[in-house]
Structure 1
Amino acid sequence: MTRVTVHTPETAPEDSRAELTALGKQFGKVLNIHGAMAHSPVVLQSYVALQQVIGDYGTFDARTREAIALVVGNVDECTYCQSAHTMGAKAAGLTEDQTIAIRNGKIDFDDKLATLLELTRQATANKGSVKDADWQTALDAGWSDTELTELSTHVALNLFTNYFNHLVETDLDVPAAPGL
């Protein structure tokens, strides 16, 4: 059971209401993660701000963003995020088998994506550090310096949500990700 109140737009602190309402409309309901984040306006506003910046300036398509989130959630062992991003990844065009392969680190369906996700896995597991050879492999595969540096924001956003879910023990309210 989650450690904090999962708010609705009506019960949320005033400084969380507009964003929580907008997220509820975007996802068709207020997800437990968002309702719990609303408990602290600084948490919800930080999440919304990072999502907004990525939406305004990010270079990755939805499929790539969801794949990054799946890797971070797997490395960080966040059940909630692996489940939510499995759902998002399928909506972005990945198959369930591909989401499992991504979480397992065995991407055999897209060589370019595999190089980016290897950097994601390393950055998540190693406090941001990645191997020079793997950075170069990603460049050689066609990723730009801009994209590879942008990766840090995606990893940070996903670690933020993973850590939040671990901290408050967010109850799962989306279909569970398939087991590995």
Structure 2
Amino acid sequence: MARVPIHDIDSAPEASKEALERQSKRVGKTINIFGAMAHSPAVMGLYDAAEELLGERSNLDRRTREAIHLTIANVNQCDYCQAAYTGSAKAQGFSEEQTVQIRKGAVDEDDKLTALLALARELAEHKGEVADDTWQAALDAGWSDVELLDAYADVVRTVLTNWFNHLVGTELDLPAAPALD
């Protein structure tokens, strides 16, 4: 059961409405996480600013960013975000099987993406610590150091959503992510 009200655009606090409208439009509807975030204009604004900034300035494309989001949602065992990011990853061209692979940590036939996701997973699992060989493996796979920092930013942005869902108990209003074998 959710701990806070789930707002729609009409019921949201005035200071949350613009950000809620923008994020609802981006995903095609007001999903429960956004409706719950809107209860706090600070939280809604923080998420909106992070998403907008990364969308404008990240050197990573949307497809790669969605793979990072899905990886971190798995690390943080956030069922809501695994469902949401599975849908987003599929919208970016990943197959359902690839979304499962991403959650497990390796994408068949994509060593470059797998190296980046290994770095993202290690960041989340070890609270920002990454071994030198993990960093170097991502560089050797073809990622730049700037792209690795941008991946870090997406990890942080995803932790925000994962922990928010854990905190407020966001109810799933999306198709569940497929089970892992």
TM-score tier, shorter chain, comes to over 0.9
Superposition pairs for residues 133-148 of structure 1, below 5 Å?
133-148=133-148
Residue of structure 2 in register with 1:13 after alignment: 13
Q: Distance in 1 between matches of 2:86 and 2:28?
A: 17
Whole-angstrom CA distance in 2 between matches of 1:119 and 1:39: 33
Equivalent residue number for residue 131 of structure 1: 131
User: Is the partner of 1:138 in helix, strand or coil?
Assistant: helix
Equivalent residue letter for 1:50: A
Deviation string for 1:155-180 (max 9, x for gaps)?
00000000000000001111100011
Is 1:95 aligned to residue 95 of structure 2? yes
Please, which runs of 5 or more residues in structure 2 have no aligned partner? Answer: none
2:39 is the alignment partner of 1:39 = yes
Whether the aligned pair in 1 keeps the contact of 2:76 and 2:162 (CA below 8 Å) is: yes
* Count, aligned residues: 180
- Aligned residue in 2 for 1:23: 23
Residues 106 and 117 of structure 2 are in contact (CA less than 8 Å); yes or no, is this contact kept in structure 1?
A: no
Query: How much is the aligned-residue C-alpha RMSD, in angstroms?
Result: 0.9
Q: Percent identity?
A: 51
Q: Does 1:62 align with 2:62?
A: yes
SS of residue in 2 equivalent to 1:127: coil
Q: Distance in 2 between matches of 1:122 and 1:26?
A: 29
Q: Distance in 2 between matches of 1:55 and 1:100?
A: 24
Segments of 5+ residues of structure 1 without an aligned counterpart are none
Give the TM-score of the pair, scaled to structure 2: 0.97
Report the AA paired with residue 6 of structure 2: V
The whole-number CA distance in structure 2 between the counterparts of 1:24 and 1:134 is 36
- Tell me the TM-score normalised to structure 1 length: 0.97
Partner of 1:113: 113
Q: Does 1:155 align with 2:155?
A: yes
Q: Check whether the contact 2:70–2:82 (CA below 8 A) recurs between aligned residues.
A: yes
Q: Separation in 2 of the partners of 1:163 and 1:28?
A: 23
Q: CA deviation at 1:23?
A: 2.2
